[in-house]
A and B are shown apart, each in its own frame.
Chain A
Amino acid sequence: MKKGLSKTSLNQLITYGIVIAAYIILQALRSAGMMTSHLAGLLVPMTYYAIAAVALNFCVGILGELSLGHAGFMCVGAFSSAIFSNVFKETLPGGLRFFLAFVIGIAVAALFGFLIGIPVLRLKGDYLAIVTLAFGEIIKNVLNAVYLGKDSKGFHVSMTNSMALGMEEDGKVIINGAMGINGTPRDANFTIAVIVLLIVLFIVQNMINSRDGRAIMAIRDNRIAAESVGINITRYKMLAFTISAAMAGAAGVLFSHNISTLQSTSQYFGYNVSILILVYVVLGGIGSIRGSVIAACILYLLPEMLRSLNKYRMLIYAIVLIAMMIINWAPAAREMRERFFAKFRKEAV
């Protein structure tokens, strides 16, 4: 038992080690001026997609429920924090404001996760997946139609257009419907993103090895057996789903504070983005937290690194994706690998 424990904690430490080592190397390269500005600009997005992938993996791999709506949680996290930051842009100092933006983004995403979890977690399998997709699309569609303004009298909300807000002269439109939020302070940087990633990893890895985590995984493996030993199914499912949503919200906060414009449209928060995050999770290995981080980084970088291929870029990306999936997942490919390694081991002995 003791040996087992040290093995898991070693495994955890390796994950932190990889992230910290990657951080140190990349920062060193950057400060030495050896990094292209292209790569430097990719660091933060890469990290927030890694966070989103860890969040989704917690839902898919640990809780065992397929969610296709995690982009929706990113969306609420991004919007709520961006609203906050825009309102207090002049009145609060940068560091404190960004910290509070995180608190708000995470809290709102968690609240949405909780509320959506109540109906969703009663369903199973593909039906659950499609309902999460539906919620994600609803969030995106509704935020796309919202107008929010602030003047001396307080906040004004409208669903028609910005004139309908009825604001005074000094009023400022914060969410301008489809045009979204412009001018969010760009508080995010690579260091903060990596710290958030480490915190998320810490929470997930400790959660997995805790009493709660074991209960959640017991539900995943056999719901009826878990219920019969007295595990409160609803409570643990809700707990895991809410945490997963909150972490996706944190990724959303980084998203909205890394770029000055934020719109609630398909290319940022549609179901296809949820699926993109799922690609990271599956390629990295379902249930493997470290795998999610690595896969998210590689798959985010891949199309960027293929830029020199011009118009063939996305075609090659698609082929690489299919090939990687078959190499990593096909039973035949696995068998071949095992045979190869068995031979290798024999020779070594």
Chain B
Amino acid sequence: MLSFLQYLISGLSLGSIYAIIALGYTMVYGIAKMLNFAHGDFIMIGSYVIFTVVTTLSGGSIPGLLVAIVCCTLIGVTTERIAYRPLRGAASPLAVLITAIGVSYFLENLALLVFGSDTKSFTPVVSWSGLVLADGKLRIQGVTIITIIVSIVILIALQTFVNKTREGQAMLAVAQDKGAATLMGINVNRTISITFAIGSALAAVAGALLCSAYPSLTPYTGAMPGIKAFVAAVLGGIGSIPGAMIGGLCLGIVEILSKTYISSQLSDAIVFGILIIVLLVRPTGILGKNIQEKV
């Protein structure tokens, strides 16, 4: 029983990381209706910025995080302006997906040139070692607790922002119907820029926590967590902010438990298998709304 609990906690720590990445993902995904494949690479860039500030310039973790948030926001907004905005209103929504892949290649190879291919060991932003329960049989890492708290804070902040502020309402309107939003006097370009700014700033936070929990940094650090977070966002229901959080936690727990009790070799297959089953039972994800088809 105790060991099951320990595995559950491990699942929670992995899941909390997926969740915090998925929150940033779902922001852009739900409102701009585009799959930003480069989101994982924004995370990687954010982590490198923190690493540079903390290790090379020996500044503290907090200034590092702040610089990273500024950098990621700038990169996010610039990317949107240069690579994504020209394709808004293209004949197919896939066009911008492909550009996002181009941006992803670009950022990875840029990082390879600038920071080098060798692995860097990241100094955790969270230095608290965590809780030890039941005579040392149960351990909860500090970074896990912080990540979950930060995710919940972000979740509440985002929900409040989207539902209570003018800008947030504008986002919801843009998400529903860009044309109608324009007619209502909403500046669609500005709204989407703000969405990207928020999503990218969250990427910096997620990068800090991802690399604190798993402190190894290469130009490809963000790619796989990014795609897993995307899966989590879909699992939770596209566009649903609480859904992203729940999806992330579920994915992490399922991944750890399947590794533990079924097979560590086949855990990827099992995780994806469960995703398929969930989507077949609930075709719009855990918290997704079922939209009736109009004739």
Task: Tell me, in angstroms, the Cα distance from A325 to B84 when the chains sit together.
Answer: 10
Give the residues from 255 to 284 in chain B that come closer than 8 angstroms, CB to CB, to chain A: 263, 265-266, 268-269, 272-273, 275-276, 279-280, 283-284
The verdict on A126 contacting B35 (CB below 8 Å), with A141-B269, A325-B99, A330-B86 known, is yes
Name B266's contact: one of A131, A141, A279, A319 (CB within 8 Å). Answer: A141
Task: Tell me, in angstroms, the Cα distance from A318 to B266 when the chains sit together.
Answer: 33
Give the residues from 262 to 321 in chain A that come closer than 8 angstroms, CB to CB, to chain B: 271, 275, 278-279, 282-283, 286, 311-312, 314-315, 317-319, 321
Q: Are B269 and A138 in contact (CB under 8 A)?
A: yes
The verdict on A318 contacting B105 (CB below 8 Å), with A126-B234, A278-B98, A326-B86 known, is yes
Q: Are B231 and A318 in contact (CB under 8 A)?
A: no
Name B265's contact: one of A145, A322, A330, A331 (CB within 8 Å). Answer: A145
* Shortest beta-carbon distance from A155 to chain B in Å: 21
In the complex, which range does the number of interface residues on chain B fall in? 35 or more
| Interface: A66 (CB within 8 A) | yes
Q: Can you name the residue of chain A whose Cβ is closest to the Cβ of B106?
A: A318
| Interface: B227 (CB within 8 A) | yes
Q: Can you name the residue of chain B whose Cβ is closest to the Cβ of A125?
A: B238
Q: Are B283 and A137 in contact (CB under 8 A)?
A: no
Q: Can you name the residue of chain A whose Cβ is closest to the Cβ of B99?
A: A325
| Interface: A35 (CB within 8 A) | no
| Interface: B293 (CB within 8 A) | yes
* Shortest beta-carbon distance from B103 to chain A in Å: 7
Q: Are B279 and A322 in contact (CB under 8 A)?
A: no
Q: Are A123 and B283 in contact (CB under 8 A)?
A: yes
Task: Tell me, in angstroms, the Cα distance from A331 to B91 when the chains sit together.
Answer: 8
| Interface: A92 (CB within 8 A) | no
* Shortest beta-carbon distance from A174 to chain B in Å: 19
* Shortest beta-carbon distance from A342 to chain B in Å: 19
Q: Are B275 and A130 in contact (CB under 8 A)?
A: yes
Q: Are A322 and B113 in contact (CB under 8 A)?
A: no
Contacts of B283 in A (CB 8 A): 122-124, 127
Q: Are B105 and A326 in contact (CB under 8 A)?
A: no
Q: Are A322 and B266 in contact (CB under 8 A)?
A: no
Contacts of A99 in B (CB 8 A): none
In the complex, which range does the number of interface residues on chain A fall in? 35 or more
Q: Are B109 and A318 in contact (CB under 8 A)?
A: yes
| Interface: A142 (CB within 8 A) | yes
Give the residues from 86 to 102 in chain B that come closer than 8 angstroms, CB to CB, to chain A: 86-92, 94-95, 97-99, 101-102
Give the residues from 18 to 74 in chain A that come closer than 8 angstroms, CB to CB, to chain B: 60, 66
| Interface: B62 (CB within 8 A) | no
| Interface: A333 (CB within 8 A) | yes
The verdict on A311 contacting B268 (CB below 8 Å), with A127-B285, A224-B293, A326-B87 known, is no
- Top 10 nearest A-B pairs (CB, nearest first) are A318-B106, A318-B105, A134-B272, A322-B102, A329-B95, A321-B102, A141-B269, A330-B86, A314-B109, A315-B109
- With A60-B94, A145-B266 already in contact, 15 other A-B pairs whose C-beta atoms are closer than 8 Å: A127-B283, A133-B272, A134-B275, A135-B272, A138-B272, A141-B272, A159-B263, A224-B293, A278-B97, A282-B95, A282-B97, A286-B94, A325-B95, A331-B88, A331-B89
Q: Which residue numbers of B lie inside 8 Å of A, CB to CB?
A: 35, 37, 83, 86-92, 94-95, 97-99, 101-103, 105-106, 109-110, 112-113, 227, 230-231, 234, 238, 263, 265-266, 268-269, 272-273, 275-276, 279-280, 283-285, 293, 295
Q: Can you list 22 contacts pairing A with B, beta carbon distance less than 8 Å?
A: A124-B283, A127-B283, A130-B231, A131-B275, A131-B279, A137-B272, A138-B272, A142-B269, A224-B295, A275-B101, A278-B97, A278-B98, A286-B92, A286-B94, A318-B106, A319-B102, A321-B98, A321-B99, A321-B102, A326-B83, A326-B87, A331-B90
